[in-house]
A and B are shown apart, each in its own frame.
Chain A
């Protein structure tokens, strides 16, 4: 197909629908849940879950058929290019436009299920992923970060040892910053049985080659939520600290091989899931930034400030220049998300584009939201409006799923052809 920028219909439809959800359902509650941290927005969760079930989807995790280029053709439906990841990006952008924290409260598998998708066997997928279609909303979460292992997740200390007598893995360690950890692990009556995916080493001498992920079902003895963090933003989304003390899980809950080979291909494979998820986090940032920029333009219009597009820079006011620059940033950041997800959909290696989209979105999202608060002055700073909240929410998009700096490192290694050892 030649170069084309026609927005696919399913994306437009999703954007249209979720705009209504954002404006009618999410925004009116944004402030309440920002000020009542750790309360759970049940109405929203139940509404979204039943809506998604009605549409035959369970979560925003990419479904098997979407990213495969050949499936549709095989069914004789004509060779329409796959748009699975692009669609997810558009959905996430639209939800984050409503509220970034609420996007994280969308029931479904999230990053936990994504790990199972990426590294699980067909049996594991069947066993762990079917539940998200059940009647009750269900969550899953990913536990990687530890107090001593953030961006450098090869420094993980959590240990998994096989108890050969019972054929169980025994896991010990402390995990922090688990997004949705509470809803995934704590057994709430209104929720289905979720799980967390815990990263641990099965061979501390093997470094990255010894790293594996384990599915730990909610309620597993020995696992405890020890803390819910109090955050700068996205307060409606719970961020848990989880301790595992002699937590036992069945042998088959390991994702990937149980034997340690010399190569780090397993770890690299896991890291490759970031190539799929980074553009999605970038998409969420773009959504917040768009919310802020649209709000700014609305307020400016109310106050009689027009943006005179097309004029030479020399004739523009400072506010006009700022708005125009922000539009350039926002549009180009979104196109980078689209390109990275388009590559994922078409099975093109996209490590460079995925990380570039994250670098750009992290920059743009923090800059735009901060600039909007600045330009709006007291209106921006006031908690009467959401601009200040969006600025607080936005900051996380330049931190999680690889900080802006880690992603610069990935981009640099890609363009320079350097290994991790050559460019540390």
Chain B
């Protein structure tokens, strides 16, 4: 059967996230972007919502079960508040969720309780690489096995909280396949750039370039243990998360532009009463809905372990990137000159909007 109603539990979670997004993330977003800094208090408060904690079973110190559907519902609402803030709050899940999804029993026991029980913990992942045609299934960073350990070489980009992380999950190519490795930050040969990444957006989020030169990690640090893991599931979970956050940002821009258009007058009427504006809003809402449904369907298929889930995740993420660009661009257009001024958030959302073609790897459900 088809159904589009969240469960009561999911609805409670959505409401809590919505409140945090509206009361905490959104009001802080402008200054955070300008000052290039997110208040620690803000991140901690988001962490205390317990999104990751609720994805981890009790046996590992959590209080729930991971669900991609719940994940996309929550991420959309949080990204509606602020993308950089949302990515910061959820950064530890970049380390924890792949361990939950594909880690060995030993890895789960070693890391999950530790991560969950602390205040917002400094764990992250190094996924993206600095290349125009970066391909998650064909990474330039390499791992080689030397009998008892893996040697990692390469350079990673856009690593959130790379500087303060205690451990990173590093993705690298091993025998033609992408695998990941738990790498303590103090490993010999690992250097984090002093300077943060300078991007078109996400200035509030500390992102770093990380270099790996003959970094040696014990064989037991390969995610999933000796035989490794299925990368497809992790990649799909990242793609669907990317789609969900894109929907959140697009919806933020749409709502803002809609409200503005209902206030702003020109030629004696509200500009929303002009079809040129009203039609843009109708199309924005329609495209948001289209990708939102595709994202939900993909998340459900992931939860069900459907064969076509990974293909759908690719389509959802790809479609979301286009949709978010279109919607955020139009939001700026509807505000006109005011949209171009940084006092209004739409220009930031437009800068965010283009990013979803690149952001896969910064969030996971």
Contact = CB atoms under 8 A, between A and B. Distances in A.
B258 A415 contact: yes
A191 interface: no
Contacts of B296: 3, 5
Contacts of A327: 315
Interface in A18-36: none
Contacts of B282: 356, 359, 408-409, 411-412, 415
Given A312-B134, A328-B319, A6 B2 contact: yes
Contacts of B312: 331
Contacts of B5: 1-3
A395 B319 CA distance: 24
B301 interface: yes
Question: Is chain B's interface secondary structure helix, strand, loop, or mixed overall?
Answer: helix
A409 B280 CA distance: 10
Interface string A1-13: 1111111100000
A255 interface: no
B278 A416 contact: yes
Interface in A398-424: 405, 408-409, 411-413, 415-416, 418, 422-424
Interface string A289-313: 0000000000000000000011111
B262 interface: yes
A339 B4 contact: yes
Most buried by B among A1, A5, A312, A418: A5
Nearest to B319: A328
A360 interface: yes
B146 interface: no
B294 interface: yes
Report, as a range, how many residues of chain A touch the other chain.
Answer: 35 or more
A310 B314 contact: yes
B286 A360 contact: yes
Contacts of A309: 311, 314-315
B318 A331 contact: no
Interface residues of B, number: 48
A1 B290 CA distance: 21
A335 B273 CA distance: 30
A324 B6 contact: no
A8 B2 contact: yes
Given A86-B2, A332-B290, A418 B273 contact: yes
A416 B289 contact: no
A127 interface: no
A165 interface: no
A187 B125 CA distance: 73
B272 interface: yes
B210 interface: no
A152 to B, nearest CB: 14
B3 interface: yes
B35 interface: no
26 contacts: A1-B5, A8-B2, A309-B314, A324-B315, A325-B322, A328-B294, A328-B315, A329-B290, A331-B312, A332-B294, A335-B297, A336-B289, A336-B290, A339-B289, A339-B293, A342-B2, A356-B286, A359-B286, A360-B290, A408-B278, A409-B275, A409-B282, A411-B285, A415-B285, A416-B261, A418-B272
Interface of A: 1-8, 80-81, 83, 86, 309-315, 324-325, 327-329, 331-333, 335-336, 338-339, 342-343, 353, 356, 359-360, 405, 408-409, 411-413, 415-416, 418, 422-424
Interchain residue pairs A-B with the least CB separation, the first 8 = A332-B290, A412-B278, A328-B319, A335-B293, A411-B282, A314-B133, A1-B3, A412-B282
